[in-house]
């Protein structure tokens, strides 16, 4: 469902009428071409013989499938650099939707489990857990390492890949992480230490007859975060295009390489403070710079929405929880566990800005960011080609 209509059954003060604004948030088409539907379509009872029409043509009827996630490669960014990626841009297919928020933690869980964020409950990069904020990728809270206190397999208990123990080809150091335990429990880890090893490992798996292989590469996202969308990004994309060519070269003719991404990117030259009058009504901040959840102090949710709207609606979509749920931003179904991890007001950047949380910092200043519901962040590729 696209937003673009006012919600119903919510007091007017809590509702943003998207028909009255220039640009509405791009809410995912959870029932159609969306990240959460890739794996169920491929691993369902009919396999590749009955794929939805939005799948690339080469995937239909393929005997083996390699699904490669290129972290951070948005459709808009790829289309703007077609000349730099001749292998990728020659592949059949088009753009599909990521999930909300457009962040790695949420999207990867939706890809591997085939569930919407409202179902699997990993609702952001930083989310509220038992009164504190868990950094999902690092699995830390302000108190430090949280793996013993917050068990990954309990935070997200659904087995990936419809319960199949598929091979996962990814960076060696990721295999033992807590986030991996939360979204890849029960898989067979096939590690690589340098990108050149990916094609070697995938080739071995293809020759062994594996029907489905999942692969992951994070270099594009890391480059965009640190260097932006300039010459470093272009150089990384050229390298990734060569990697894709190497992967195609090890596939048999009846196998398909499918490529998607978890989100796109936006260059963010400004980081803005959250208005002090809004912070006074806020007990916790979760999410990330382009999708902040404000968790209201008891009894302050309506006031917080009004204050945050007055302060930030010129550059952001400021939306109350009720409207987020009514418009199914996280999918048509929401578990009680997922709801317990959400804030009361979503501060979602519309302009190329982020919103500061002093507790959410890292070793480098991020030049590109993501998380919001803009076209550049929401639209990702789903493209494919058969082996040589």
Q: How far is CA 95 from the centre of its chain?
A: 14
Q: How far is CA 321 from CA 30, 88, 305, in A?
A: 19, 39, 9
Residue indicated by tokens 């094609």? 199
Token couple for 346: 């979503």
Token couple for 175: 């295999």
CA distance 139 to 4: 36
Is pTM, for the whole model, over 0.85? yes
Beta strands, E only, the chain: 64-70, 92-97, 126-129, 132-135, 140-141, 144-145, 167-171, 188-192, 212-217, 255-260, 266-267, 270-272, 282-288, 291-296, 316-320, 345-349, 353-355, 368-369, 379-386
101: exposed, middle or buried (Cβ count in 10 Å: 0-12, 13-18, 19+) = buried
pLDDT reported for residue 14 = 59
For each of the domains in the chain, give its residue range(s) and CATH number, in order of start: 35-267+373-386 (3.40.720.10), 268-367 (3.30.1360.180)
8 Å CB contact between 92 and 57: yes
pLDDT reported for residue 19 = 66
pLDDT reported for residue 17 = 80
CA distance 388 to 376: 32
pLDDT reported for residue 13 = 46
Secondary structure in 3-state letters for 168-196:
EEEEHHHCCCHHHHHHCCCCEEEEECCCH
Burial of 311-343, coded b for 16+ CB within 10 Å and e otherwise, reads bbeebbbbbbbbbbbbbbbbbeebbebbeebbb
Name the β-bridge partners of 129: 132
pLDDT reported for residue 155 = 97
Closest CA to 342 of 308, 294, 375, 383: 294
pLDDT by residue for the chain (388 residues), tens digit each? Answer: 334 333 333 344 457 886 667 789 999 999 999 999 999 999 999 899 999 999 999 999 999 999 999 999 999 999 999 999 999 999 999 999 999 999 999 999 999 999 999 999 999 999 999 899 999 999 999 999 999 999 999 999 999 999 999 999 999 999 999 999 999 999 999 999 999 999 999 999 999 999 999 999 999 999 999 999 999 999 999 999 999 999 999 999 999 999 999 999 999 999 999 999 999 999 999 999 999 999 999 999 999 999 999 999 999 999 999 999 999 999 999 999 999 999 999 999 999 999 999 899 777 789 999 999 999 999 999 999 999 8
């Amino acid at each position: 469902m696209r937003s673009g209509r006012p919600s119903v059954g919510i007091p007017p003060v809590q509702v943003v009428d998207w028909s009255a604004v220039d640009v509405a948030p791009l809410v995912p088409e959870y029932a159609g071409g969306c990240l959460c539907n890739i794996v169920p379509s491929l691993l369902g009872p009919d396999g590749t013989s009955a794929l939805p029409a939005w799948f690339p043509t080469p995937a239909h009827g393929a005997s083996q499938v390699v699904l490669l996630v290129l972290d951070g490669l948005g459709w808009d960014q790829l289309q703007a650099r077609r000349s730099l990626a001749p292998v990728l841009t020659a592949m059949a297919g088009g753009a599909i939707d990521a999930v909300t928020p457009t962040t790695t933690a949420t999207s990867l869980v939706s890809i591997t489990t085939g569930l919407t964020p409202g179902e699997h409950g990993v609702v952001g990069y930083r989310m509220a857990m038992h009164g504190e904020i868990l950094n999902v990728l690092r699995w830390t809270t302000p108190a430090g390492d949280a793996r013993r206190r917050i068990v990954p397999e309990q935070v997200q208990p659904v087995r990936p890949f419809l319960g199949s123990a598929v091979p996962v080809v990814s960076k060696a150091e990721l295999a033992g992480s807590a986030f991996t335990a939360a979204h890849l429990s029960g898989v067979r880890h096939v590690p690589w230490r340098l990108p050149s090893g990916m094609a070697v490992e995938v080739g071995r798996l293809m020759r062994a007859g594996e029907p489905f292989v999942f692969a992951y590469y994070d270099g594009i996202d890391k480059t965009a975060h640190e260097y932006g969308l300039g010459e470093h990004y272009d150089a990384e994309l050229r390298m990734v295009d060569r990697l894709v060519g190497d992967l195609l070269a090890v596939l048999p003719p009846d196998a398909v390489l499918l490529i998607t991404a978890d989100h796109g990117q936006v260059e963010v030259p400004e980081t803005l403070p959250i208005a002090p009058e809004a912070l006074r009504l806020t007990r916790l901040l979760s999410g990330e710079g382009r999708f902040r959840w404000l968790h209201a102090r008891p009894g302050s949710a309506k006031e917080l929405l009004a204050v945050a709207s007055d302060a930030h609606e010129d550059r952001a979509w400021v939306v109350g929880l009720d409207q987020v749920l009514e418009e199914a931003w996280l999918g048509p179904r929401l578990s009680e566990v997922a709801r317990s991890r959400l804030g009361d007001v979503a501060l979602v950047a519309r302009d190329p800005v982020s919103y500061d949380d002093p507790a959410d910092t890292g070793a480098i200043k991020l030049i590109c960011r993501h998380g919001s519901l803009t076209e550049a962040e929401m639209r990702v590729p789903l493209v494919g080609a058969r082996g040589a």
